[in-house]
Chains A and B, each alone.
Chain A
Amino acid sequence: MTVRLRIVGGTVHDPANGIDGEVRDICIEDGHIVASVPDGAPTIDARGMVVMAGGVDIHSHLASSSCNHARRLLPEEHSAEPVTAPALVDGDYLPRSGTGGTVPTTFTSGYRYAGLGYTTVFDAAVAPAMARHSHAELEDTPCVDGGFFALMGNDEYLLRQIAAGERERARDYAAWLLGSTGAYAIKIVNPGGIEAWKSGQRNLNGLDEVLTTHGVSPRAILETLADAANQLRLPHPVHIHCNNLGQPGNVAVTLASMQALAGRRAHFTHVQFHSYGGPGWSSGAAPIIEYVNTHPELSIDVGQVMFGPATTITADGPVEYLLHKSSGRKWVNIDIELESGCGIVPLLYKDKAAVTALQWAIGLELFLLSRDPWRVVLSTDHPNGGSFLSYPALIQLLMDRSVRDEKLKQANPKLLAGSALADGLTREYTLNEIAIITRAGPARLLGLRQKGHLGPGADADVTVYARNADIAQMFSTPRYVIKGGSLVVEEGQLRRAPAGRRLHVRPGYDDALLPDLKRYFDAYSTVAFENYPVQGVPDDPLPLSP
């Protein structure tokens, strides 16, 4: 039976289709946007409201073994925020209780993302060996289409191919890994640095410092995997977390990494954490964003720090060790064989702390100095810079200068001297720019042709916001959220929790790889080559780029 819906009279912001605040109807049929539906189709009265495509989170940590280790580490947060099951319409959906905090349980994460009007989310860091776990968590994360990026920047087999100059084999291996694990994109975390941490070299501090174990440099890793992603025509380019995250002066290695990939498509993630001047602490946002502004092949997400509780979860083991030593907070480190690592430290970002205030300012500078919103995506690197629940507050900081200046007044000014924000940035984002950095932009950067817009053929992921002078209020409580044509949020209440679709790719590769790979597995892996690929990934990979 055909399911139809007409969203009537809303003010539509659909920048991908050049629509900036026009009053028009949005029609839905069988889970997709269509040009029109017959009269008599059910309607939603959106008059006076703002209509956008469903939000797209390009970089989150919500469904991985690392997230689950973090959940396990936080009983204090969970018991402080118990979550009863939502009152869903009877029938198809089993309403689930859970717990909140910075790393909520999976069902609660899905409900809360939908509650913010987000309908597509990617987990940005999954060790391939743990992919099976991420698929299970995603199955238990309703209301959002989801996928994950596979960690490759410290992969033993890959490092060996790079050391041997076998870049085609490296590319074939990347393709095999993506297809075998049901991943969506290639992720690099601290290229070479995790292997250095595991081998006793501790870390790599420059783009050309080589791994003593492999004689490979971060530069070679970046080039190899950026080329692989582009040659494999992956919908999303290589997704890069640079070296020296969180260290004063890391702006140098961040810029060098961007320059190293000159001319190649690449996405640099949570750049706020990589834009620190040095040797002391200062803002390095200006040179970074200026470079991004003038290099259309690059895109970034910001990784904004928001004042309040956070939990840092990353494959970047050496960073978490330093964070543990400096904060004295509890600390998890898990070295993951042949592939990656995992570090976790809970944190509290205080506006009275000088470095935190600087991090907060740098993130905002990246947003406010950017000239192309299509390539600068909103993120908090959930939950590293703050929970995704703080997106509405972040949107308010971008759209409302008075609120921003108030917060700035309360923040510790010690390290803000000379920062662009302290000098006064007057820019205020428009609703259309918000629609770009939260939907249209990330969808385009992810190569998701059916997401992030409201043109005919697009997935029927739609969010309807009631206007409110309080921007944070407006974006935290959408009046309606539609996911794949299903009315998930109705009158501000979560009413349906449909399962999301798995977003993954399956690029081709040269089978000549396999015999060598099997020999490698037999020699070093504790999981049989035959048992490594994830079973049961839906047979519906997304198309590769043309």
Chain B
Amino acid sequence: MSAAHQVEHVTCLGCGCGCDDINVTVMDDRIVDAIPACPVGRAWFGDGSVPWEVLQGGKRATLEHALTEAASILTKPRGSLLVYLGPDLTSQAQRAAVALTDFLGAAVDSATSDAAAEGLLAAQRRGRATATLGEIRNRGDVLLFWGVDPNRRYPRYLSRYALEPAGTQIPNGRAGRFVIAVNIGADKGPAEADLTITLEPSEEIAALSLMRAAVLDHPARDQSPNLVSAIGLIGRLTSARYAVLVHDAEPTELPRNPLRVEGLIALAQALNGPTRAALSSLRGGGNRPGAESVLTWQTGYPFAVDHSRGYPRYMPGDRGLDRLVRGAFTAALVVGSPALAGEAAAALGGIETVAIGPGASRAPFTTRVAIDTGTAGIHEGGTAYRMDEVPLSLRPPLTGQRSTVQTLEALMDAVRTKRPGRSA
């Protein structure tokens, strides 16, 4: 029974908040405490125990044999290949995985949700007006929460960034901020709001359009009471010194109008005429924005990229997992947690799948090769991106037995001995 030791300033990837003030207590290679982690964070860290197996055809194998087998699966002359980036990878691992994708002429897609993808596409059409979380903390004096209460899935967002803390321009913290909640049907804003209005889901897009028209000083015709109250918010927003619109970029159980995020982007941009404003998009845990960032600098596109023609091709209308389910691929490389269920898992089980990542050996689908590695920020150091795309350094409290990056690099070596030239 060894003594407990502490690892300070650990970055939590439980949600996109990227809190890097966590003090983790480790005993016998197990995480026994994480303070001041929120429930989401504690669930993320767990006790940090993961399997460390190497499987080939479901049976124990040496790493060398497994990598050779994986390489021969991925380099088959015929057929098409999907590389799937799980949510919990360091950006260093993401870079190694995209390099493999490029060399193999594969399609690559990530854990970027369809809802988040809508936001990326809308931002490609219009651009966006946003800010890093610290600007929201230091300047945001009017905060509008559009159909989201961060307390549910991003528990420390309000205490660290948006609401309570004092900032350079908000010396009094909460008292210096006016909080508006806009409930969209059952998508409710925070209870501690100073002002709450409610819209029917059917009124949402009309409300966003009318609010923008009001910012632009364009005429408005008579509207329902709900819409009138939405338009009424514009006075509050334009009299702010720095208005912040907050929405959940990740999907919820509830259906959502796909135009919501573009409406919010356009409204936030327009508000920069009369005042300053930013849209804050809440993102889920792991390193999802990191995958988008790496894919963008290596391929030019943030997700859904296909290298099968020898160069990166953008296929945002046809996500990798949808194509997988339709039978588009004959083999797959799943990197990171194999946390896929339903049709996608069934489809992976039906083709030759290689899994490399935390819990690969326990994947919920049949694998030809499974190599367990560590989790970003728990066993693996490197970089992960916060929901606002600020790159954070990771201090793993535990030492893993096998690193994802080194495993992917070894796989690349094995692949290149099988196929020296490029596939393209």
A132 to B294, CA, bound (A): 13
The answer to whether B422 touches A78 (Cβ under 8 A) is no
Q: Are A199 and B169 in touch, CB under 8 angstroms?
A: yes
A272 close to B (CB within 8 Å): no
B393 touches A535 (CB 8 A): yes
Q: Assess whether A97 is in contact with B21, with CB atoms less than 8 Å apart.
A: no
Q: Is B6 an interface residue (CB 8 A)?
A: no
In the complex, the chain B residue whose C-beta lies closest to that of A131 is: B391
Q: Is B390 an interface residue (CB 8 A)?
A: yes
Q: Is B134 touching A524 in the complex (CB atoms < 8 A)?
A: yes
B134→A337 contact, CB < 8 A: yes
Please name the residue on chain A nearest to B21 by beta carbon: A528
* Nearest B residue to A529, CB-CB: B9
The verdict on A140 contacting B95 (CB below 8 Å), with A132-B393, A524-B167, A531-B393 known, is yes
**Complex CA distance for A97 and B390, rounded to whole angstroms:** 26
Chain-B contact segment, one of A292-300, A326-334, A407-415, A471-479: A326-334
A99 contacts B422, C-beta separation under 8 Å: no
Residue count of chain B within 8 Å CB distance of chain A: 70
B420 proximal to A (CB < 8 A)? yes
Q: Are A198 and B390 in contact (CB under 8 A)?
A: no
With A and B bound together, what is the CA distance between A321 and B278 in angstroms?
Answer: 13
Cα–Cα, bound, A330→B269 (Å): 10
Contact status B9-A530, CB under 8 Å: yes
A200 touches B383 (CB 8 A): no
Let me know if A286 is at the binding interface, CB within 8 A: no
**A402 contacts B by Cβ under 8 Å:** no
Once the chains are docked, how many angstroms separate the CA of A330 from the CA of B128? 8
Number of chain A residues whose Cβ lies closer than 8 Å to a Cβ of chain B: 64
Closest to A109 in B: B297
0/1 per residue, B278-307, Cβ < 8 Å to A? Answer: 100000000000001100111111100001
By DSSP majority rule, is chain B's interface helix, strand, loop, or mixed? mixed
Query: How far, in angstroms, from A105 to B421 measured CA to CA in the complex?
Result: 22
- Please report which residues of chain A, range 101-140, place their CB below 8 angstroms from some CB of chain B when the two chains form the complex: 101, 104-107, 129-130, 132-133, 136-137, 140
Chain B residues with CB below 8 A from A501, complex form: none
Contact A335 B135 (CB under 8 A): yes
Q: In the complex, which residues 51-82 of chain A have their Cβ closer than 8 Å to any Cβ of chain B?
A: 65, 67-69, 71-75, 78-79, 82
How many Å lie between the Cα of A469 and that of B173 in the bound state? Answer: 67
State whether the Cβ of A85 lies closer than 8 Å to any Cβ in chain B. Answer: yes
- CB-CB nearest in chain A for B272: A321
**Cβ-neighbour of B272 out of A78, A132, A333, A523 (below 8 A):** A333
Give min CB distance, B42 to chain A, whole Å. 19
* Interchain CB contact under 8 A, A84 and B311: yes
Report the Cα distance A338→B138, complex, angstroms.
8
Contacts A321-B272, A338-B168, A530-B8: A333 and B296 contacting too (C-beta < 8 A)?
no
Shortest distance from the beta carbon of A182 to any chain B beta carbon, whole Å: 13
**CB atoms of A99 and B300 under 8 A apart:** yes
User: Which of B24-32, B117-125, B324-332 interfaces with chain A?
Assistant: B117-125
Tell whether, in the assembled complex, residue A200 and residue B424 are in contact, meaning their CB atoms are under 8 Å apart: no
In the complex, the answer to whether B424 meets A337 with C-beta atoms within 8 Å is no
CA gap between A402 and B102 in the complex, in Å: 45
Nearest-CB residue, chain B, relative to A345: B127
In the complex, which residues 318-369 of chain A have their Cβ closer than 8 Å to any Cβ of chain B? 321, 324-325, 330-338, 344-345
* A334/B132 in contact, CB under 8 A: yes
Residues of B within 8 A of A37 (CB): none
B312 to A94, Cβ gap below 8 A? Answer: no
The reply to whether the CB of B145 lies closer than 8 angstroms to some CB of chain A is: no
CB-CB under 8 A from A49, the residues of chain B are: none
Q: Would A526 and B133 be within 8 Å (CB), given that A71-B297, A200-B241 are in contact?
A: yes
CA separation between A84 and B20, bound complex, in Å? 40
Specify which of A67, A96, A140, A528 is in contact with B20 (CB 8 Å cutoff). Answer: A528
Interface membership of chain B positions 380-412, coded 1 if the CB is closer than 8 angstroms to chain A and 0 otherwise: 010100000111110100000000000000001
Q: For B131, what are the chain A residues with a Cβ–Cβ distance below 8 Å? A: 334-337
Interface of A is mostly: mixed
Q: Is the CB of A200 within 8 A of B242?
A: yes
On whether A78 and B134 interact (CB within 8 A), knowing A94-B103, A133-B293, A133-B391, the answer reads no
Report the nearest B residue to A325, measured CB to CB.
B273
A83 located at the interface, meaning its Cβ lies under 8 Å from any Cβ of chain B in the complex: yes
Min CB–CB distance B12 → chain A (angstroms): 12
Instruction: A83 to B160: give the CA distance in the assembly, Å.
Output: 43
Does B99 lie within 8 Å of A94, measured CB to CB?
yes
Asked if B127 contacts A73 (CB within 8 A), the reply is yes
Q: Does A98 contact B (CB under 8 A)?
A: yes
Taking a contact as CB atoms under 8 Å apart, the answer to whether A106 and B297 are in contact is yes
Tell me if B393 and A534 are in contact (CB < 8 A): yes
Q: Which residues of B contact A79 (CB under 8 A)?
A: 313-314
Return chain A residues, CB-CB under 8 Å to B276: 197-200, 335
**CB atoms of B314 and A213 under 8 A apart:** no
How many Å lie between the Cα of A101 and that of B301 in the bound state? Answer: 13
In contact, B298 and A330 (Cβ under 8 angstroms): no
Closest residue of chain B to A71 (Cβ to Cβ) is: B296
The reply on A206 being an interface residue by CB < 8 A is no
Q: Per-residue CB proximity of B237-264 to A under 8 Å, as 1/0?
A: 0000110000000000000000000000
Bound CA span A73–B124, Å:
5
A330 touching B126, Cβ below 8 Å: yes
Contact B134 A82 (CB under 8 A): no
Interface membership of A90, Cβ < 8 A:
yes
Contacts of B132 in A (CB 8 A): 129, 334-337, 526
| Residues in A whose Cβ lies below 8 Å from that of B95 | 136, 140
Contact call B127/A332, Cβ cutoff below 8 A? yes
- A1 CB–B CB distance under 8 Å: no
Which chain B residue shows the least CB distance to A532? B393
Is B139 an interface residue when CB atoms closer than 8 A count as contact?
yes
Is B91 engaged at the interface, CB distance under 8 Å to the other chain? yes
B162-196 contact mask (Cβ, 8 Å, vs A): 1 or 0: 00001111000000000000000000000000000
Q: Is A525 an interface residue (CB 8 A)?
A: yes
Q: When the two chains form their complex, are residues A85 and B127 in contact, meaning their CB atoms are under 8 A apart? A: no
Q: How far is the CA of A107 from the CA of B278 in the complex (A)?
A: 32
Q: Would A331 and B300 count as touching, CB distance under 8 A?
A: no
- Interface residue? A512 (CB, 8 A): no
Which residues of the partner chain B approach A337 to less than 8 Å between Cβ atoms? 131-135, 137-138
Q: Provide the bound-state CA to CA distance between A325 and B127, in Å.
A: 13
Given the contacts A75-B301, A531-B9, A82 and B307 also touching, CB distance less than 8 Å: no
Question: Are A524 and B311 CB-contacts (below 8 A) given A90-B421, A534-B393?
Answer: no
Contact partner of B300 among A71, A84, A321, A527, CB < 8 A? A71
User: How many whole Å from A119's CB to the nearest CB in chain B?
Assistant: 21
Are B393 and A137 in contact (CB-based, < 8 A)? Answer: no
- The answer to whether B120 and A72 touch across the interface, beta carbons within 8 angstroms, is yes
Q: Are B312 and A68 in contact (CB under 8 A)?
A: no
The answer, yes or no, to whether B161 is at the interface (CB within 8 Å) is yes
Q: In the complex, how many angstroms separate the beta carbon of A137 from the nearest chain B beta carbon?
A: 5
Q: In whole angstroms, how far apart are the Cα atoms of A161 and B353 in the complex?
A: 58
* 13 pairs from A and B in contact (CB 8 Å cutoff): A82-B311, A96-B102, A98-B300, A130-B391, A133-B293, A136-B91, A213-B169, A331-B269, A332-B128, A335-B135, A338-B168, A524-B134, A526-B132
Given A71-B296, A90-B420; 11 other pairs, CB 8 A cutoff: A65-B293, A68-B296, A73-B124, A74-B300, A140-B298, A197-B276, A200-B275, A200-B276, A338-B168, A524-B168, A526-B390
Query: Which 5 A-B pairs rank lowest in CB-CB distance, beginning with the nearest?
Result: A337-B134, A99-B300, A78-B300, A82-B311, A335-B131
